[in-house]
Amino acid sequence: MKVAVVGATGLVGREMIKVLESRNFPVDELIAVASGRSVGETVPFKGKEIPVVSVENAIRQQPEIVLFSAGGSVSLEWAPKFAAYGGKVIDNSSAWRMHDNIPLVVPEVNGHVLTADDHIIANPNCSTIQLVMALAPLHHAYTIKRVVVSTYQSVSGSGKKGIDQLMSERADLPHQMFYPHQIDLNVLPHAGDFDMYGNTTEELKLTNETKKILDPAILLTSTVVRVPVKGGHSEAVNIEFKNDFTIPEVKRLLGGMPGVVVVDYPEANLYPMPLMAEGKDEVFVGRIRRDTTCDNSLNMWVVSDNLRKGAATNAVQIAEILLSKKLV
């Protein structure tokens, strides 16, 4: 089994390699791929240093599974070339997510949609993954009408440049500005590019991807905010259901969802936080309570490590499904 990681020297690419190792994915040969300026560098895997090669070199080796985390333009150019010989591409960019013929997959939610004909598979946005993990069991039970989400997204969601700006500002060191404003001791209601209606691309991803994964009838609006946290995304979620619920039953459904952990003990000051989620693959849900201002409505707080379940782990889990269903 040859597995390639395209973008192997980036934050998510390195995390993908760690997850492949920690989950004991059956890799006989790891092919680390990056841009020309990184060729010749190495990345660690199972106690060895794996040399970084070009994407052309990787295609010649014809890996069976290719994990992409190298940006949308790279994926649009090269993913079809891996797919052409029969490789299975799992792409972490936004390039393929909304294509009608490309599955957008969170394994615990809709892994069943994968077929032998799928050679390019899209990994959802990090904030979408943790959101639908929490929404899915509740939608199946009560039918969601509308969702209002406010996100508190860490700088690692922007890659290394976001982390560098935050940590440099915190240490009062000279630095390049990645964000349009200071991020340390500040919050930015801005992630992605603004459209003509004032929505950002990150906000539109939440809406469109949730509809594609769960149900196109769900109405979803969001405000995405970048916060001075190094890693881990948080979301304040308000849900209006078609049918009524009880809080104990909501907690039971969430607790029974694979990959979701309920942490909801406010009397002991226990609730999900980014530090709790750091380095973990689970989605943590707490602050679960009824919204008394609207019928059949619920508030909850959802936290996950955006580099793990929000990106790398979800991609590797998709690869695991392909193996288990003998699709590769």
Q: What is the pLDDT of residues 133-150, one digit of tens each?
A: 999 999 999 999 999 999
Pairing of strands 120-122, 297-304: unpaired
In this structure, what CATH number is given to the domain that contains residue 141?
Answer: 3.30.360.10
pLDDT digits (tens, 9 = 90+) for 14-29: 999 999 999 999 999 9
pLDDT digits (tens, 9 = 90+) for 269-317: 999 999 999 999 999 999 999 999 999 999 999 999 999 999 999 999 9
Tokens 């794996």 map to which residue?
A: 50
CA 236-238-243 angle, to 5 degrees, is 150
pLDDT score for 40:
87
| Mean pLDDT across the chain | 97
Q: Are residues 90 and 61 in the same domain?
A: yes
Q: Are residues 83 and 184 in the same domain?
A: no
Nearest to 285 by CA among 245, 232, 237: 237
327 pLDDT band, cuts 50/70/90, is: very high
Which residues on adjacent β-strands are paired with residue 97?
A: none
126 is an active site residue:
yes
pLDDT score for 96:
97
Q: Are residues 177 and 301 in the same domain?
A: yes
Whether 188 shows a pLDDT value over 90: the answer reads yes
pLDDT score for 231:
97
Q: Are residues 317 and 302 in the same domain?
A: no
Q: Are residues 171 and 50 in the same domain?
A: no
**Could you give the CA distance from residue 158 to residue 146 in angstroms, rounded to a whole number?**
28
pLDDT digits (tens, 9 = 90+) for 217-253: 999 999 999 999 999 999 999 999 999 999 999 999 9
pLDDT score for 36:
85
Count of structural domains within the chain: 2
Q: Are residues 98 and 186 in the same domain?
A: no
pLDDT score for 309:
98
**Residue 300 CB neighbours (<10 A):** 24
**Could you give the CA distance from residue 267 to residue 46 in angstroms, rounded to a whole number?**
43
Q: Are residues 40 and 111 in the same domain?
A: yes
pLDDT score for 72:
94
pLDDT score for 211:
98
294 is an active site residue:
no
Q: Are residues 71 and 163 in the same domain?
A: no
From residue 67, give the alpha-carbon distance in Å to each of 13, 64, 193, 200, 255: 8, 10, 26, 27, 30
Report, as an integer, the average pLDDT of 82-106. Answer: 97
Q: Are residues 8 and 117 in the same domain?
A: yes
pLDDT digits (tens, 9 = 90+) for 142-178: 999 999 999 999 999 999 999 999 999 999 999 999 9
Task: Tell me which residue range forms the domain holding 6.
Answer: 2-124+311-324
Report, as an integer, the average pLDDT of 185-209. Answer: 97
Determine which one of 99, 112, 233, 294 is catalytic. Answer: 233
Q: Are residues 155 and 64 in the same domain?
A: no
High-pLDDT (> 90) share of the chain, %? 98
Whether 266 shows a pLDDT value over 90: the answer reads yes
95 pLDDT band, cuts 50/70/90, is: very high
Give all strands of the β-sheet with 2-6 in edge-to-edge order.
Answer: 42-45, 48-53, 29-33, 2-6, 65-68, 88-91, 120-122
pLDDT score for 240:
98
pLDDT digits (tens, 9 = 90+) for 204-219: 999 999 999 999 999 9
Q: Are residues 246 and 183 in the same domain?
A: yes
**Residue 309 CB neighbours (<10 A):** 25
Determine which one of 99, 119, 126, 140 is catalytic. Answer: 126
Q: Are residues 120 and 131 in the same domain?
A: no
**Could you give the CA distance from residue 321 to residue 107 in angstroms, rounded to a whole number?**
8
In this structure, what CATH number is given to the domain that contains residue 109?
Answer: 3.40.50.720
pLDDT score for 3:
98
**Could you give the CA distance from residue 89 to residue 121 in angstroms, rounded to a whole number?**
6
